[in-house]
Amino acid sequence: MEHRKKFKAVNIIIYILLIGMSLLMLIPFVWMLSSSVKLDKDVFTFPIQWIPQAPRWRNYIDIWSKIPLFTFVINTVKITFFVTLLQLLTSSFAAYAFAKLNFKGRDLLFLCYIGTIAMPWQVYMVPQFMLVRSMGLDNSHAGLILLQAFSAFGVFMMKQFYQGIPDELCEAARVDGMSEYRIYARIMLPLSKPALATLTIFTFVNTWNDFLAPMIYLRDTKLKTIQIGIRMFITQYGSEYGLIMAASVLSLIPVLIVFLSMQKYFVEGIAATGIKG
């Protein structure tokens, strides 16, 4: 009985600490939401006025007229959609080959491919840009999409999940005369919804919030993304912090929608991809 009481007390303390840390992490988001309905001069006042006495809701209207925000949103949706779709296709397809097919040099090829995760993008950023420019794909959405269509992390994560699926399923399908493409489409993909949802969240968030790649590859204003567009509120004469916060809140909405809609599968996918290391 005493042991159970101690165990319960420890759990209560852990939960209190977790709740406290969660609230601490939410403070910047609450501050951003509060600042989005303030005048520029009130954003950095101290002590912080969490609930403005006279909220300036017009900030959410002005952000559409000050810059071509609608164009930036459409561009970001376009790039994020195609990058996420292509990464799901290429990562799951390659992961199936590495996990369920036996071919010469498979393990070495997988090791070399996964080894690229350890190399920061900044290391090969310049040669990659020169290659894209030589192909005539710089300053275009197509070049940006193709650069991010393949993901070593996505292949690694999907392979971990596929290794948890019994090989007997694939063997039985082959005995029935199914091709590898049909096994992949009819058996592996339906079973990998949690892993696909996890990869969708990671890819969507990273692509939607990407700042450096669009900054490097996109020059025309009509091609820029929302993250680059928010920077346009900062000029040599000053910064419109209220509008920046309002646009930042707007840019968070799609991320929250995607995460909340796939939260159930996300938890399952994180657990399942750790079955085998």
pLDDT of 237: 59
* Backbone CA torsion sign across 197, 202, 205, 206: negative
In this structure, is residue 25 part of a structural domain? Answer: no
Q: Is 209 helix (H, G, I), strand (E, B) or coil?
A: coil
* 242, 59 Cβ separation under 8 angstroms: yes
Any domain includes 20: no
Among 52-56, 159-163, 182-186, whose mean pLDDT is lowest?
A: 52-56
Mean pLDDT of 30-51: 82
Domain-located, residue 112: yes
Structural domains in the chain (count): 1
The CATH number linked to 143 is: 1.10.3720.10
What average pLDDT does the segment 210-234 reach?
88
CA 169, 170, 175, 180 torsion: positive or negative?
Answer: positive
Q: Provide the residue range defining the domain that includes 143.
A: 57-272
Domain membership of residue 21 (yes or no) is no
| CA-based radius of gyration for the chain | 24
Specify whether the CB–CB gap between 163 and 99 falls below 8 A. Answer: yes
pLDDT, residue 74, reads 94
Residue at 147 is within a domain = yes
Please write the tens of the pLDDT for every residue from 137-155.
888 898 889 988 888 888 9
Q: Please list, in sequence order, all residues whose beta carbon lies within 8 angstroms of the beta carbon of residue 146, skipping any fewer than 6 positions away.
A: 137
Predicted confidence at residue 236, as pLDDT, reads 56
Mean pLDDT, range 53-72, rounded to an integer:
87
Does 43 map to a domain? no
Measure the CA–CA gap between 94 and 170, rounded to whole angstroms. Answer: 16
Beta strands in the chain, from DSSP E residues, in sequence order: 234-235, 238-239
- In this prediction, residues 16-43 reach a mean pLDDT of 86
pLDDT at 266 (0 to 100):
65
- Whether residue 17 is contained in a domain is answered as no
